[in-house]
Chains A and B, each alone.
Chain A
């Protein structure tokens, strides 16, 4: 019984260490992805909708 518990604890620790290592390895990839998302969200195409919406409202207000 004790041997089983020891084996389970050791396996658990190994899985935990492996998970930490994998998550650490993934971090730079996440950084690249989030930076890409950030830059894409600032592109002129992404901003067009907001600028057009306000520009159109302003133009229609002037026309009245």
Chain B
């Protein structure tokens, strides 16, 4: 008998929770394919290491971009491989709950559930990421009080107000930490005349990136390819430069939080001032982001204790209490 599964199918990482066991898989959402034969060569961490370093016949891709499925066929193959890796076969057919962005289209919704069913799931249900994040962040969403969660992922940023087990207000933008990396790549190319890859841009963000000035800031040495000569070149980047480079992206995330606050009913709005808002998702780890949101909204911002796992934890809880919580799944009758 297969153990039921919860999957956080993120733009950046995919996490799998197994009923009664906990998180059994946590890997980048990347798949490497042979361009000529279409054969899968690697998935997860192994495929991630290939990004930007492959010979012509190999392509390492992220099948999800901006919270949307860019390639249905590759996404289906990735889901099938994921389920195989955690022990799902044609003889063991588990129930599966998959976390997806709330802005997902009807076509994408059907593609994900169909892919999971074809990959061996007996039943596939979807849950909105901010709802799962609020459950996983251990917020008191069973009470009639306003709980606000900001989930900043690789391709989407979603802010939700939750009370009494349901979403009261929701705001989503298709902007996330990959857009921050892209902004750094563009800045370095434009201002310093060197080309860097997306992995280097991510390393710069982790090393010196910040959304608001913070104490103890250092410069970083960056190596790339000179656009004029084509030769390898090293430049020194200051934290202020990165702040300037990513400001548009950070501003649009903060603006979506403000819009969600404006949508919240006044009775719940006063709760936020006392209880604060909770940041989850890998993008929430950007230094100074909590401080920046707090400065612009005048509402306290707190970091969830397990920001990277909150979404899959919430979905995992739904799989543990499947019957009682099935009304929370997308498309369910409430």
The listed residue (B21, B138, B316, B325) touching A41 by CB distance below 8 A is B325
Q: Are B324 and A38 in contact (CB under 8 A)?
A: yes
Whether the Cβ atoms of B321 and A41 lie closer than 8 Å is yes
Across the interface, do A47 and B164 meet the contact criterion of CB distance under 8 Å? no
The 8 A CB mask of B129-155 against A (1 = contact, 0 = none) is 000000110101110000000000000
Q: Is B165's CB under 8 angstroms from A42's CB?
A: yes
- B interface, over-half SS: mixed
Answer yes or no: A50 CB below 8 A from chain B CBs: yes
Residue-wise, chain B 15-41 has the 8 Å CB interface mask toward A (1 for contact) of 001000111000000000000000000
**CB distance B313 to A42 under 8 Å?**
no
For chain A, the count of residues having a C-beta within 8 Å of the partner chain is 19
Stretch of A8-16, A17-25, A53-61 contacting B (4+ beta carbons < 8 Å): A53-61
Cβ-neighbour of A39 out of B22, B165, B320 (below 8 A): B165
Contacts of B142 in A (CB 8 A): 39-40, 42-44
Q: Are B325 and A54 in contact (CB under 8 A)?
A: no
Is B23 within 8 A of A47, CB to CB? no
Which of B23, B142, B313, B328 gathers the greatest number of chain A CB atoms within 10 Å? B142
| Chain B residues within 8 Å of A, Cβ to Cβ | 17, 21-23, 135-136, 138, 140-142, 164-165, 305-306, 309, 313, 316-317, 320-321, 324-325, 327-328
Which residue of the partner chain, among A37, A41, A46, A54, contacts B306 with CB atoms under 8 Å?
A54
Please give the distance in Å from B280's CB to the nearest CB on chain A. 13
Question: Is the beta-carbon distance between B141 and A42 smaller than 8 angstroms?
Answer: yes
Chain A residue nearest to B139 in the complex (CB): A44
Q: Which A residues contact B (CB, under 8 angstroms)?
A: 34, 37-44, 46-47, 49-51, 53-55, 57-58
Contacts of B321 in A (CB 8 A): 41, 46
Given contacts A41-B325, A47-B317, contact A55 B138 (CB under 8 A): no
Known A38-B328, A39-B142, A50-B313; further 12 A-B contacts with Cβ < 8 A: A38-B327, A41-B325, A42-B141, A44-B140, A50-B17, A50-B316, A50-B317, A51-B138, A54-B23, A54-B313, A55-B305, A57-B23
